[in-house]
Amino acid sequence: MNERTGHGSVVFATVGLLLVSSACAIGPKYRRPEGPASTAFKEELPAGWKEAQPNDGALRGRWWEVFADPGLDALEAQVSISNQNVLAADAQSRAARAAVRVTRAGQFPTVSTVPSATRSGTGGASGIRVYEIPIDVSYQADVWGSIRRSVAANAAIAQASAADLENARLLYQADLAADYFQLQGLDAERRLVAATVQSYEQYVQLTQDRFQGGVVSMGDVALAQTQLETTRAQLADLGIPRAQFEHAIAVLTGKPPSAWSQPEAPTQSAPPPVLVDLPSTLLERRPDIAAAERQVAAANEQVGVARAAFYPFLSFGGSVGSRAGAVVDLLTVPTRLWSVGAQLTETLFDAGKRRAQVRLTQAAYEATVANYRQTVLTGFQQVEDGLAELRILSQEAEIVDRAVTAAQQSLDISTTQYRGGLANYLQVITAQTSLLQNQRSAVDLLTRRQVATVSLIQALGGGWNASQLPSRDSLR
């Protein structure tokens, strides 16, 4: 067998070995870990709500549109494109995608060249010129699947990063909606307190008229004036949280606080009913759960990478090029050079490093499984918390509404009795205080119900679905 035939045999044998070994992959096959399961939520749905059926128009993407508030719609549209935390998460997601391509490059040969021109000689000789253009090729055969598992691990991390991006987007969208409805609640409370101030001004005038008529003492005027000024102070104090919520909303939409302000909301609407999916769908609907599951998949691949280190590494190298004394001769056949070779590397002693690495990756995998299950449990908890909060707040709102009606009746009676001289002004003050407290409680409860609805929608995943994660093929 001549040299050329021997070289061809080596090449074919190498290709055959690679084809056979490409099916090998050391390490555990990934299976999605079993998480806590529940067939139904413990808490009852609030009145007017229902479980989503397969054909129902459940939450989809722009979840805030269920509130039918154009002002909120306009603000939410700015979160994805202007919120700096979302933009940071987007950059991290793009970096994770790039990392997949970096790792995948290890599955292909590396080709390099270092052209050179040298001149050498001795004594007074003119010297010899040598021109060389080598092309070197190196390749590590992925016999045990180490590179493939690294690619798969980075792909899973990229998918987890994409889910983290959606989770960040949902978080800041929900924060903005919660701040928006609290701002609306403050406006409703300001209108209520402002109307109360006007009412108290009339009461001050009433006591002054009765004092000038000699019916009551100056003490009644002082009591009425105290009640008025105290309520004016409460009205002024509401400006502080309103300004703070305005500033928070501006920052959430990527603006400096000085660049945005919100006109006073004319009304405060009731929260809309929301379709609630079954617990089994929660695993696919929450981006944080999807991210935790993808982290488990990545950790599983790392176990395989660590186990593959126990087996020898097979690498190939070769070069082809041309060497000549003149540039024009570089392309002629007699000046061409080539070489090819294979190298098998096996670690004989590492003081237990590889075994420790396997234990490390196995422990990391078990930690990600525990984190995944805890994330699922937290998801169930947050939905149950949201349902319970809305149910109890709805009941509480009915009670407070009745209390407002009773307090108004009490004030009307006390006022009539005071005008007729049958009651002192302290009774009027007491009735006024009770009415305002209950009215403010009613406004606060409506605000809390709006915010609780936002929190429940967030706990349900905001209409996102794991099917929206990028596929492994799209990451290559």
Q: Are 295 and 157 in contact (CB under 8 A)?
A: yes
Shortest CA distance to 377 belongs to which of 369, 387, 388?
369
- 116: Cβ contacts below 8 Å, ≥ 6 apart: 131, 132
Find how far residue 429's CA is from the centre of its chain: 50
Distance (Å, whole) CA 152 – CA 302: 9
Q: Residue 147: what residue type? A: I
Q: Helix crossing, 218-237 with 239-252: angle to 10°?
A: 10
Per-residue model confidence as pLDDT tens digits over 62-102: 899 999 999 999 999 999 889 999 999 989 999 998 988 88
User: Binning pLDDT at 50, 70 and 90, where does residue 132 land?
Assistant: confident
Distance (Å, whole) CA 286 – CA 466: 8
Distance (Å, whole) CA 429 – CA 422: 15
Sorted by where each begins, the domain ranges of the chain are 21-106+144-310+352-475
Q: Residue 184: what residue type? A: Q
59 vs 409, more confident: 409
Q: Residue 475: what residue type? A: L
* pLDDT attached to residue 6: 47
The tokens of 89 are what? Answer: 């998460």
Per-residue model confidence as pLDDT tens digits over 139-155: 887 778 788 888 888 99
Residue 12 has pLDDT above 50, yes or no: no
Per-residue model confidence as pLDDT tens digits over 156-209: 999 999 999 999 999 999 999 999 999 999 999 999 999 999 999 999 999 999
Per-residue model confidence as pLDDT tens digits over 429-472: 999 999 999 999 999 999 999 999 999 999 989 888 888 888 88
Dihedral over alpha carbons 448, 452, 455, 461 (to 10 degrees): -150
* pLDDT attached to residue 37: 75
Per-residue model confidence as pLDDT tens digits over 309-347: 888 877 777 777 676 666 666 666 566 777 777 777 787
Q: What share of the chain is helix, strand, coil (3-state, %, to 5)?
A: 65, 10, 25
- What class has domain 21-106+144-310+352-475? mainly alpha
Over residues 369-394, the mean pLDDT reads 93
H runs (alpha helix) in 125-257: 146-212, 218-237, 239-252
Helices and strands (DSSP H and E) totals, the chain: 11, 5
Classify burial at 457, counting beta carbons within 10 Å of its beta carbon; exposed 0-12, middle 13-18, buried 19 or more.
Answer: buried
Distance (Å, whole) CA 192 – CA 472: 56
The position carrying tokens 């696919």 is 284
User: Binning pLDDT at 50, 70 and 90, where does residue 278 land?
Assistant: low
Q: Are 401 and 438 in contact (CB under 8 A)?
A: no
242 vs 114, more confident: 242
Distance (Å, whole) CA 147 – CA 21: 13
CA dist list (Å): 165 to 94, 292, 317: 10, 13, 42
* pLDDT attached to residue 122: 63
Q: Residue 306: what residue type? A: A
* pLDDT attached to residue 452: 95
Classify burial at 34, counting beta carbons within 10 Å of its beta carbon; exposed 0-12, middle 13-18, buried 19 or more.
Answer: exposed
Helix/strand/coil for 385: helix
Q: What is the pTM of this model?
A: 0.84
Q: Residue 102: what residue type? A: V
> How would you classify the pairing of strands 116-120 and 110-113?
unpaired
354 vs 448, more confident: 448
